[in-house]
Amino acid sequence: DVKVTQSSRYLVKRTGEKVFLECVQDMDHENMFWYRQDPGLGLRLIYFSYDVKMKEKGDIPEGYSVSREKKERFSLILESASTNQTSMYLCASSLYRELAKNIQYFGAGTRLSVL
């Protein structure tokens, strides 16, 4: 089974802190994604990566950055956390194969509260 592991289930941080959210997958997937999920807004894509050291902005990248130094690990960085970044953060990974489903597999999520 595919396993996507997020380092923390719950995090509480203060405004202005630098926050790292870590995600590791064990299936050698090329693609990795970071989403945030808010009531009434659904899952929104922050950043994704299709290869080591490669990244693409999603729909809401402002205030975030990412790092992918190794294929299995994708980190989301909040350079200076703000209260409007309080949310559930979900990491996902998928294969990249032409003409295939390329299902996304999700981690359990990190609920971040910024005070």
Partner 1 sequence: GQNIDQPTEMTATEGAIVQINCTYQTSGFNGLFWYQQHAGEAPTFLSYNVLDGLEEKGRFSSFLSRSKGYSYLLLKELQMKDSASYLCAVRAIGGYQKVTFGTGTKLQVIP
Task: Give all strands of the β-sheet with 73-78 in edge-to-edge order.
Answer: 4-6, 19-25, 73-78, 64-70
Q: Of the candidates 66, 75, 107, 110, which one interacts with partner 1 according to CB under 8 A? A: 107
Question: Cα(99)–Cα(113) distance, rounded to whole angstroms?
Answer: 39
Phi-psi region for residue 63, left (φ > 0), alpha (ψ -120 to 50) or beta? left
Q: Of the candidates 12, 27, 52, 108, which one interacts with partner 1 according to CB under 8 A? A: 108
**Closest by Cα among 109, 91, 111 to 26:** 91
Interface of this chain with partner 1, residues 10 to 29, rule: CB under 8 A = none
Give min distance, CB of 80 to partner 1, in A. Answer: 26
Interface of this chain with partner 1, residues 39 to 98, rule: CB under 8 A = 40-45, 48, 50, 56, 58-59, 90, 94, 96
Binding residues for partner 1 (CB under 8 A): 4, 31, 33, 35, 40-45, 48, 50, 56, 58-59, 90, 94, 96, 101-109
